[in-house]
Chains A and B, each alone.
Chain A
């Protein structure tokens, strides 16, 4: 029995999509959706956890910042798997996000201010291979997260 053949057959995911309203109680639905897809591809469990967390952070930021906690916004999560690369594209129609304006996290500052900001973005950048933002003003914002199966450990 050739294991390599088996593994290829197991990968059914080509493209999947999920749309939810911009409410924090939908975060677990998004996490489950991504968990199942990443598991189907065959990522090691620690890497699946990291991918799920990165996507949670992206969606949390969309709910809080793009939609400013307005619960009726739309979040679309699109998954692709091609050439060993798992790509998550998350689309919203809220306020465009300017990633350059988010400084790297500084815990000493948070300590004094009693709050945090930018942790999610730092986690996304740390946990994924690629994090890309695209905004088409008045149309949509998109964040792309990707992870390569070959380099994932």
Chain B
């Protein structure tokens, strides 16, 4: 069975979610729970760090769609960072760069949040 886990870092106003392993229809609920928990705590400025994510299918991409409107309604955002070329290509193929800001590094994504405050 494929392994997937998330961990989070509370960096003041901004929260970072680290993804690790294989994100598919089986493991998508793990990420759903992580995002719901942050939203319950009214944490709406979220950076998702993909650097340790080995694999994503459309079930994983769908998770981001479930929460983004609520987050933006609360003046927050989900910014994506640190994707491998392989993972980025899937986001790109499905047109996600039109809806999400995607950064090379976590630092760049955090900076963008700080600039727009």
Interface on A for B, CB 8 Å cutoff?
A: 24-25, 27-29, 31, 46, 49, 53, 56-57, 60, 63-64, 105, 107, 110-112, 114-116, 119-120, 122-123, 126
Contacts and interface: CB of A to CB of B under 8 A. Distances in A.
Given A107-B98, A114-B69, A119 B24 contact: no
A73 to B, nearest CB: 15
Contacts of A28: 1-2, 22, 24, 26
B39 interface: no
A27 B65 contact: no
B98 A27 contact: no
A123 B94 CA distance: 8
Interface in B72-117: 86, 90, 93-96, 98-99
23 contacts: A24-B24, A24-B25, A25-B1, A25-B26, A27-B2, A27-B24, A28-B24, A29-B1, A46-B86, A53-B55, A56-B24, A60-B24, A107-B94, A107-B96, A110-B65, A111-B68, A111-B69, A114-B67, A114-B70, A120-B58, A120-B59, A122-B94, A123-B58
Give the size category of B's interface with A: 20 to 34
Contact of A114 (B57, B59, B66): B66
